[in-house]
Amino acid sequence: MKRQWKIALDGPSGAGKSTLARALAKELGLIYVDTGALYRTIGLYMTRKGVDVKDADAVAARLPEVRLELVYKNGSQSVLLCGEDVGDSIRTPEMSLAASAVSAIPAVREFLLDIQRDMAAKGGVVMDGRDIGTVIMPDADAKLFLVASPAARAKRRYLELTAKGVECSFEQILMETNARDEADRQRNIAPAVPAEDALFLDNSDLNLTETVAEALNLIAQKCAGKARS
Ligand code: DC
Q: pLDDT tens digit string along 158-217? A: 998 899 898 999 999 999 888 878 877 776 666 778 999 999 999 999 999 999 999 999
Considering only CA atoms, which residue is closest to atom 3 of ligand 1? 36
Bridge partner residues of 143 (DSSP): 8
The pTM of this model reads 0.91
| Number of Cβ atoms within 10 Å of the Cβ of 75 | 12
Burial of 12 (0-12, 13-18, 19+ CB in 10 A): buried
Helix and strand numbers, DSSP H then E, in the chain: 9, 8
C-alpha 222/C-alpha 94 separation (Å) is 38
Considering only CA atoms, which residue is closest to atom 2 of ligand 1? 36
The alpha carbon of 180 and the centre of ligand 1 are apart by a number of angstroms equal to 13
Least trusted range by pLDDT, from 56-60, 77-81, 86-90, 159-163: 159-163
Bridge partner residues of 147 (DSSP): 202
Three-state secondary structure call for residue 27: helix
Report the pocket of ligand 1 as residue ranges, CB < 6 Å: 13, 35-36, 39-40, 96, 99-100, 103, 129-131, 190
**Could you read off the pLDDT of 5-48 as tens digits, one per residue?**
999 999 988 899 999 999 999 999 999 999 999 999 999 999 99
**143 contacts 196 by C-beta, under 8 angstroms:** no
What's the DSSP call for residue 215? H
**What ranges in 123-200 are assigned the alpha helix state H?**
150-163, 170-186
Among 178, 222, 225, 184, which residue's Cα sits nearest to residue 200? 222
C-alpha 212/C-alpha 157 separation (Å) is 19
Task: Quote the longest CA-to-CA distance of the chain.
Answer: 52
What is each CA distance from 113 to 76, 110, 121, 188, in whole angstroms? 21, 5, 12, 18
Phi, psi values for residue 196, rounded to 5°: -60, -35
Write down the mean pLDDT value for the chain.
92
The alpha carbon of 224 and the centre of ligand 1 are apart by a number of angstroms equal to 30
Considering only CA atoms, which residue is closest to atom 17 of ligand 1? 129
The alpha carbon of 100 and the centre of ligand 1 are apart by a number of angstroms equal to 6
> How would you classify the pairing of strands 68-73 and 6-10?
unpaired
Atom of ligand 1 nearest to the CA of 136: 18
**5 contacts 141 by C-beta, under 8 angstroms:** yes
The alpha carbon of 27 and the centre of ligand 1 are apart by a number of angstroms equal to 24
Give residue 1's pLDDT. Answer: 42
